[in-house]
Structure 1
Amino acid sequence: MRRVGIDKLKKDMVLAKPIYTSNGVILLKEGTLLTEKFIMKIHDIDVDYIYIKDEISEGIEIEALISEETVLSTKKALEDSMEKMRKGYFSASQSIVEKVDAVITEVVANPHVMVSLQEIRSRDEYLHMHSINVCVISLLIGKKLNYNDAQLKHLALGAILHDVGKTQIKYDVIRYREDYVDKEYKIYKEHVRLGYEMIKSIPESSLLAANIALTHHEHYDGTGFPLGKKNTSIHEFSRIVAVANEYDNLLYNLPKDTHMRHYEIVEMIVSRAYTWFDPEIIKIFRRSISPYPVSTGVVLNDGRIGIVARLNEDFPTRPVIRIIDEASMAVMGEVDLSVSLNTLIVDEKEIDK
């Protein structure tokens, strides 16, 4: 499979992954042959790209960290729990606690140490899918820190509910925060205290999980909010979630007409070590998230183009590239950049067949 921007969709392309509506209903299933009508439907749900399968991407597969079934069931449980918590029914949150256990089990059991975390996501499902992604990334980092079961449970529950306070805010919390005017930003910052109080009220939760909601916007240099904590006075769980939260925001919640390439997002996160983020957590993040996700089109320093076919987990910036002849769009073989040391990726490129 390969990733294709929705502005490049063409009739007769074949879907490699199903497309869901924001309420979890399959809009178009895997294997669907695109028609003009289907392309219009895809545009209507406000996604940036989809995955297709064709002869040049045959055999390229994205290894998910958790199953699609777990994602969908967790999203539904999260929607239900957040709505009940918004109304003050905190004892009704048992379903999300159970789903968190399932997510932990899958992340711990997954043998992959580096992942390509890019799913098809519409802006309408921002809050819930953002929360799940932040939870998964945080767990991956916690796993590499050799956390025990109890630590993973506190981390996961705090991560998946880190933004629950936003359900109490009465305006558009989906917009990227740098778009807010001063009055909006002041209200926005209240979500951390609101979330802290809400999570404290969940019978199955803990103060450690609630503290994540309170302090996930603290910065390593003390410039964050709400308490202005710095360095290791910020709990390690919150230092982890801070990185996962910002990564997912840059990936899926930039202003509408703003675009960053994935490697640029990773570079921005890494550049904030010692200022926003704990440098030790950043080291683990760099070993966990591929700057060039599988199925991404790329340009090499010798001018050749290709598709990221597989990751080299010991060499994050040097994946295996399937080379495509730009004139004929034929597959010309594969190059392992961990072996071909003079060959580098210089940019991403949409492979337009």
Structure 2
Amino acid sequence: MRLIEDPKLDRFRAECRDWLQDNVPTAKRPPDGLALREYDLAWQRTQYEGGWAGVSWPKEYGGRGLSVLEQLIWHEEYARAGAPPSASMFVALSHAGPTLIVQGSDEQKQRYLPKILKGEENWCQGFSEPGAGSDLASLKTRGVVDGDHLVVTGTKIWTSYAEGANRQELLVRTDPEQPRHRGLTWIVCDMDLPGIDIRPITAMSGVTHFAQVFYDEVRIPLANVVGEINKGWAIAMTTLGFERGTGTIAHQIELANGVERLIEVAGETTDPETGRSLLDDDAVAARLAGLRAEVMALRSLTVASVSRGMREEVPGAEGNIPALYFGELTRRVNGAALEILGPAALARDGEHNWPLHYLESFKWAIGGGTSEIRRNVIGERVLGLPRGPRAI
């Protein structure tokens, strides 16, 4: 599917493709830890030096100042070229950076955005807590104003790539007397401040991307507050809007490539009982065709989100629709690979690590809001349905 026929966009696509073909790293990417961080930062620096960092970010902060449409084309060609996932740079590029562009002060933009694009700093997110995941408004980590600092005490969990991150987008409760969605503050936390303790968590896939972060009277300058004290909920919704809207475009295209790879492998794999390729089985072929159609449907939903993004500065609740669909579809695709290919899919050192992708796919229906929460948001804020019961 092509978004629009335009010679200018075609030339831009060709430029993306040519540069990626010449520059995508060939070295094997480390699975986790500080080695992964250094790999991602180095690749980000390469993109910046080549003029491909922040395609749609403002020029004054190091971006190219192009349209969201051109950003989508870059994501398409990036995934098609098999370039590394953003991973430890994801929060900086898809959360913090876009949030600062629309909500940050001029000083904050000048201070943080160029360093992100140049591959000098990476970020992590401090939103979820042991008792506040999808129900983010129930978070309890405290921030107390003391002079020109905010003193933070509490804990955050499922913080991706916290180990080695330079900064964190941190949401804390600064006024416990106000209702749930009020009294919250969005602040930039330097991860090397005294009082921060990072404890890595190994996921069921075997990689250590998550961590629990503890804060023991961590003093953060009030100059790091984005927006205003006690008005962080709106800033957080901006952040999640980017995450649920265009933030997973590259992952969606990677999923589409995975479906095509699965079809290819099915055609090359012989059924030991019949001696024919798996793709010659009508049931298998129909299932794979269905998955390809679902990927195209997801693509259409994403294009609709991009179209809205060209008219709206801040993503709306509609971004939950492709996010929900992607979270459910990626699990179906990788589950289908294991079922269709059978024992041949279990090799974890092959060209496409199906077991790792399957185990990792579960996080997409949890992180950033579970599928159930996203359905509620779609029903209430997009479709205008009555609100369900709420926790007191």
TM-score (norm 1): 0.30
The structure where helix makes up a greater share of residues is 2
Pick 1 or 2: higher relative contact order, CA cutoff 8 A, min separation 6: 1
Q: Give 1 or 2 for the bigger CA radius of gyration.
A: 2
